Amino acid sequence: MLDLSADKAIRTDSESSPETRMWGVRDDGPVAARPAPLVDPFGRAITYLRISVTDRCDFRCAYCMSEEMQFLPKRDLLSLEELDRLCGVFVERGVRKLRITGGEPLVRRDIMQLFRRLSRHLGSGALDELTLTTNGSQLARFAPELADLGIRRVNVSLDTLDPQKFKAITRRGDLSVVLAGIEAARNAGIKVKINAVALKGVNEHELPDMIRWAHGLDMDMTLIEVMPLGEIEGDRTDQFLPLSVAREGLAEHFTLTPLAHRTGGPARYVKVEETGGQLGFITPLTHNFCEGCNRVRLTCTGQLYLCLGQEDSADLRAPLRASSDDGPVRQAVIDAIARKPKGHDFVIERARPAASPRHMSVTGG
């Protein structure tokens, strides 16, 4: 049993109650309207939950999935009601931000029902942000309703502006559909951020143009390093472009001024002086970003992963289904957070299998 209440620095912006600052205590039911966040054994407040609502996708991005993916049987997935219930437990325990992801979240049937249900936490003030990460293929259809429900920002993954390259990377996507989705989101008043995976020899020389395009439309952009998650056909070392190298290349085009801005995640930001826009670098392989980690990830089958790069997880589906009372699942969440590891140990090298057998589409990117 770990007691963190005494003298460890707890990174949280709200007052911690004795209950949530002490691990191993039984959970006695609902807490006050704005509870102190759950705090892990390293003093990190867990305020951010990412939820993968499906492992399925209408694309097969070469770095993410294999061409012939074996998807989970539908019966293994949490229902939308169960996802809503679980999210409610986290919100009740101080999570302030929910990100819906996948797979492709907007291809899950009736997904807007979940957004509708979760938006009540925005209305009550329990949640600061409800957002999603999407490949953009369905955004044109859903953007107006998402905006109505209070979604203010969305991350759209887009690795190239070249239609042929886009088809080659995603294996089945249509660039024009994604661009229309981005436009629809912007027209609905949703702020779009573009996430691009930096791919050696694929988009590396296109990055300056993509940055000019994104910033020209007032969209921030973030570059992501390829992570060794899940088996794919090729070898990821062929795709791996260290962002330190990408950044050196960009510095020949732009003046990059580091910003202090942090999100509790693996991104570091610079201002691109020539465009006035913001550029993020997500470098889990070359930098240790774990000390400020504020997040955990829920899979579509109800596994809670405490760290993107570690295998330890907690099954929340069993306690959720065992009782209509939230007590058991609440306790399972508390027990899981008490096991959150200090950090990950990704290494990208020619060794196989992948460092983590889970595809990003299962854990949620």
Question: Is residue 57 within the footprint of ligand SF4 (CB under 6 A)?
Answer: yes
Find the shortest distance in angstroms from Cβ 29 to ligand SAM. 35
DSSP secondary structure, 180-212, as one string: HHHHHHHHTT-EEEEEEE-BTTTTTTTHHHHHH
Query: Which of ligand SF4, ligand SAM, none has residue 4 at its interface (CB below 5 to 8 Å by kind)?
Result: none
201 closest CA partner among 54, 62, 46, 60? 62
CB of 157 to ligand SF4, least distance (A): 6
- Binding site residue list: 50, 57, 61, 63-64, 99, 103, 133, 157, 193, 227, 290, 293, 295-297, 307
How far apart CA 191 and CA 151 sit, in angstroms, is: 9
- Residue from the set 135, 278, 303, 313 that interacts with ligand SAM by CB under 6 A: 135
Q: Which stretch binds ligand SF4 (CB under 6 A): 19-27, 37-45, 55-63, 213-221?
A: 55-63
- 226 is a site residue for ligand SAM (CB under 6 A): yes
Judged by CB under 6 A, does residue 222 bind ligand SF4?
Answer: no
Identify the residue whose tokens are 């807490």. Answer: 31
224 binds, among ligand SF4, ligand SAM, none (CB under 5 to 8 A by kind): ligand SAM
Nearest of 155, 158, 172, 270 to residue 203 by alpha carbon = 158
Compute the least distance from the CB of residue 160 to ligand SF4, in Å. 13
Within the chain, residue ranges assigned H as helices are: 80-92, 111-124, 139-148, 163-170, 175-187, 207-216, 236-239, 243-251, 317-322, 327-337, 360-363
> Is residue 360 at the binding interface for ligand SAM, with CB under 6 A as the rule?
yes
CA distance 320 to 154: 29
- The answer for residues whose C-beta is within 8 angstroms of residue 164's C-beta and 6 or more apart is none
* Contact flag: residue 195 with ligand SAM (CB under 6 A): yes
Point out which residues bind ligand SF4 (CB under 6 A). Answer: 57, 59-61, 64-65, 102-104, 135, 157, 361
